[in-house]
């Protein structure tokens, strides 16, 4: 009986649902929805009268704790939450400038760096910034043994002899130290605040430090902005630090929102709902320019390259240096640059052209298919085939890896080289690469800090070299390259250092199992009423210098 009652009730509900959808109801619903919308828009417009900057970004972040992370979004956000000892101005990656340190000197052996700190700097908390905070921040990074450890692995000791002096002693001469110290991951933390919230910089900090959760919700720096809120996968809200030592920023409030689709960023930018889009793709550029939005493409410290394995058991014919030369001559570099998008530049070495010591781009390889065919014929290599590993369906630095792989396949086919496409998801591609089982790979290498030392990984036995099974003892030439790399890494004189790097790069391209393809540029766009936008390869846009006309 009860079932019958329930059934009737259900029918009545369903009946009401069906009968409610009349024309009149539809009109009412539409009117209510429109009213709600207008009210929402009205409220939005009222609030927009503040100096607020809205930024669209595809989030790439694990944590906001600067000492634990090297991801792109973290770098951008922490650049304005924390200050570093030194910095770079605008898009420059060559000349470190004062920031928290006003001056510095290097010992004769190049191992000791002495920094004098700016006086009168306070953290957003009001605590004064002293040398003890610098020492504590660097010690913490060393002892966290996190993914950032490579930044500080060369440090032997950090001393703070007085409140305004910091001495960093390196294990060997390390001219790259200044560039490393300019990275937002090396931001100086307010040690008192962080300690009060579980921070620990001593030995064993990798298990005893508990400050990360705090740093994900509050900032503890001296930067131009303070973190108001961080909602993972959604947004950051930063507010101006009125006590900033350089003077308050022009923007009162920054909202950085996670918008993963480039086309959605494009639409929101055109509508004026966002002020800066950090992740537009090539498909958006023309449309945005037509809409009167400022579109720019700045060089980034990234290179795309082909890598061969030197072990014939892995790579077959592709382990033959003659084949490397043939591939180098077979590629249509102009076509590759077109695919890479506006601002991309040719590469003569395995290092971005923006770093000192990079070989002149005029020396970059050029397509010469007759030479390629002749090389193959001369070596009696009538049938060369292999498989190209690449990041399937990924677009990195605005470059479609699928299109790039197809282009390379077509270029090599033109000289009789068969290359099957072996695209796999990024984690699997990286796993294969680390195992040294990639016959031929299309990869990119990103600089974590603004120094050519980042690219020493291509040397025999180093991070990239060993994945080609190219080791120091592979050949006398390989051993010589390693020696040259060590000299370049330690050379304190800037001019000599640049010359060493250039020599190294030329030799590396001549003898190594790599083919540099291009250096991409990062396209980004902003509304015409936004000014002061510069794009740095490491932290991208420094919001402290951005202004907006309302």
Partner 1 sequence: MSGRGGFIARRLLHLIPVVLGITVISFMLSYALPADPMTVNLGELAAADPEVVASFRQEWGLDRSPVEQYLTYVYNLLQGNMGISISTRRPVFQELRQALPATYELAVASMLISIVVGIPLGVLAAVKRNTAVDQVTRFIALVGLSVPVFWLGLVGLFVFYAQLGWVPGPGRTSATIPNPPFVTGFMVVDALLARRPDAALDTLWHLVLPSLVLAMYNLGILARLMRSAMLEVLGEDYVRTARAKGLPERVVLLRHALSNALIPIITVIGLGFGRLLSGAVVTESVFAWPGLGLYAFRSATTLDFPAIMGVGIAVASTYLIVNLIVDITYAFADPRIRLTN
For strand 97-98 and strand 86-87, is the pairing parallel, antiparallel, or unpaired? antiparallel
CA 222/CA 204 separation, integer angstroms: 27
Q: How far is the CB of 236 from partner 1 (least distance, A)?
A: 11
Q: How far is the CB of 466 from partner 1 (least distance, A)?
A: 9
CA 102/CA 306 separation, integer angstroms: 42
**Cβ nearer to partner 1, comparing 95 with 206:** 206
Q: How far is the CB of 516 from partner 1 (least distance, A)?
A: 18
Where in 260-416 does DSSP place strands (E)? 276-277, 294-299, 302-308, 345-346, 384-391, 395-396, 399-400
Q: How far is the CB of 159 from partner 1 (least distance, A)?
A: 23
Longest Cα–Cα distance of the chain, Å, equals: 98
**Cβ nearer to partner 1, comparing 38 with 413:** 38
**Cβ nearer to partner 1, comparing 51 with 112:** 51
Q: How many CB atoms are closer than 10 A to CB 49?
A: 8
Residue 542 tokens read as 């420094």
**Cβ nearer to partner 1, comparing 149 with 414:** 149
| CA distances for 223 relative to 73, 131, 260, angstroms | 16, 17, 27
**Cβ nearer to partner 1, comparing 157 with 385:** 157
**Cβ nearer to partner 1, comparing 51 with 125:** 51
Residues 73/150, Cβ–Cβ less than 8 Å: no
Q: How far is the CB of 180 from partner 1 (least distance, A)?
A: 11
Q: What angle do CA 148, 74, 465 make, to 5 degrees?
A: 45
Q: How many CB atoms are closer than 10 A to CB 156?
A: 11
**Cβ nearer to partner 1, comparing 321 with 457:** 457
Q: How far is the CB of 32 from partner 1 (least distance, A)?
A: 10
Ramachandran angles phi, psi of 117, nearest 5°: -85, 150
Number of H helices, E strands in the chain: 19, 25
**Cβ nearer to partner 1, comparing 198 with 363:** 198
Q: How far is the CB of 541 from partner 1 (least distance, A)?
A: 17
**Cβ nearer to partner 1, comparing 101 with 288:** 288
Residue 138 tokens read as 């660097």
Q: How far is the CB of 468 from partner 1 (least distance, A)?
A: 14
**Cβ nearer to partner 1, comparing 277 with 365:** 277
Q: How far is the CB of 314 from partner 1 (least distance, A)?
A: 16
**Cβ nearer to partner 1, comparing 77 with 339:** 77
For strand 294-299 and strand 86-87, is the pairing parallel, antiparallel, or unpaired? unpaired
- What's the DSSP call for residue 467? G
Q: How far is the CB of 218 from partner 1 (least distance, A)?
A: 15
Q: How far is the CB of 409 from partner 1 (least distance, A)?
A: 24
Residue 104 CB contacts under 8 Å (≥ 6 apart), including other chains:
85, 86, 113, 114, 115, 116, 178
Ramachandran angles phi, psi of 29, nearest 5°: -60, -45
Residue 286 CB contacts under 8 Å (≥ 6 apart), including other chains:
none
Residue 277 tokens read as 């889009």
Residues 328/415, Cβ–Cβ less than 8 Å: no
Distance of CA 292 to the CA centre of its chain: 28
CA 127/CA 105 separation, integer angstroms: 27
């Amino acid at each position: 009986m009860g079932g019958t009652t329930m059934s009737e009730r259900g029918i009545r509900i369903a009946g009401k649902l069906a009968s409610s959808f009349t024309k009149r109801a539809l009109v009412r619903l539409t009117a209510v929805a429109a009213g709600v919308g207008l009210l929402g828009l009205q409220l939005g417009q009222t609030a927009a009268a503040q100096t607020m900057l809205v930024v669209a970004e595809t989030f790439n972040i694990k944590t906001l704790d600067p000492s634990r992370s090297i991801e792109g979004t973290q770098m951008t956000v922490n650049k304005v939450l924390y200050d570093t000892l030194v910095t770079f101005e605008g898009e420059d990656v060559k000349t470190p400038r004062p920031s928290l340190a006003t001056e510095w000197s290097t010992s004769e052996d190049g191992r000791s760096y002495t920094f004098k700190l700016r006086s009168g700097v306070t953290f957003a908390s009001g605590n004064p910034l002293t040398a003890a905070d610098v020492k504590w921040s660097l010690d913490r990074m060393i002892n966290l043994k996190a993914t950032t450890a490579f930044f500080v692995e060369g440090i032997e000791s950090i001393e703070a002899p007085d409140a305004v002096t910091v001495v960093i002693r390196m294990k060997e001469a390390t001219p790259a130290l200044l560039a490393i110290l300019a990275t937002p991951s090396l931001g100086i933390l307010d040690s008192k605040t962080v300690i009060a919230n579980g921070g620990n910089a001593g030995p064993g900090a990798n298990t005893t430090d508990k400050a990360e959760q705090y740093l994900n919700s509050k900032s503890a720096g001296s930067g131009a902005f303070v973190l108001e809120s961080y909602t993972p996968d959604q947004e950051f809200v930063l507010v101006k630090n009125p006590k900033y030592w350089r003077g308050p920023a022009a923007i009162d409030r920054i909202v950085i929102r996670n918008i993963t689709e480039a086309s959605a960023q494009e639409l929101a930018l055109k509508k004026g709902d966002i002020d800066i889009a950090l992740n537009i793709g090539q498909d958006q550029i023309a449309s945005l320019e037509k809409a009167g939005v400022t579109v720019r493409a700045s060089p980034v410290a990234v290179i795309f390259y082909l890598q061969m394995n030197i072990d014939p058991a892995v790579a077959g014919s592709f382990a033959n240096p003659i084949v490397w030369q043939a591939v180098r001559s077979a590629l249509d570099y102009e076509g590759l640059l077109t695919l890479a998008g506006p601002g991309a530049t040719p590469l003569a070495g395995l290092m971005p052209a923006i770093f000192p010591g990079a070989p002149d781009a005029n020396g970059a390889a050029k397509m010469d298919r007759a030479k390629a065919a002749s090389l193959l014929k001369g070596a009696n290599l009538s049938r060369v085939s292999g498989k190209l590993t690449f990041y399937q369906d990924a677009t990195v630095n605005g470059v479609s890896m699928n299109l790039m792989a197809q282009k390379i396949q077509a270029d090599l086919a033109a000289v009789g080289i068969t290359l099957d496409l072996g695209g796999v998801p990024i984690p699997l591609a990286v796993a294969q690469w680390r195992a040294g089982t990639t016959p031929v790979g299309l990869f990119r290498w990103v600089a974590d800090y603004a120094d050519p030392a980042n690219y020493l990984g291509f040397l025999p036995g180093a991070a990239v070299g060993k994945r080609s099974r190219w080791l120091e003892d592979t050949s006398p030439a390989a051993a010589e390259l390693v020696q040259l790399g060590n000299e370049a890494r330690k050379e304190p004189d800037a001019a000599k250092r640049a010359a060493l790097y250039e020599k190294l790069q030329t030799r590396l391209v001549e003898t190594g199992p790599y083919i540099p393809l291009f250096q991409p540029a990062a396209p980004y766009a902003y509304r015409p009423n936004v000014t002061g936008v510069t794009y740095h390869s490491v932290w991208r846009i420094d919001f402290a210098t951005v202004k907006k006309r309302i």
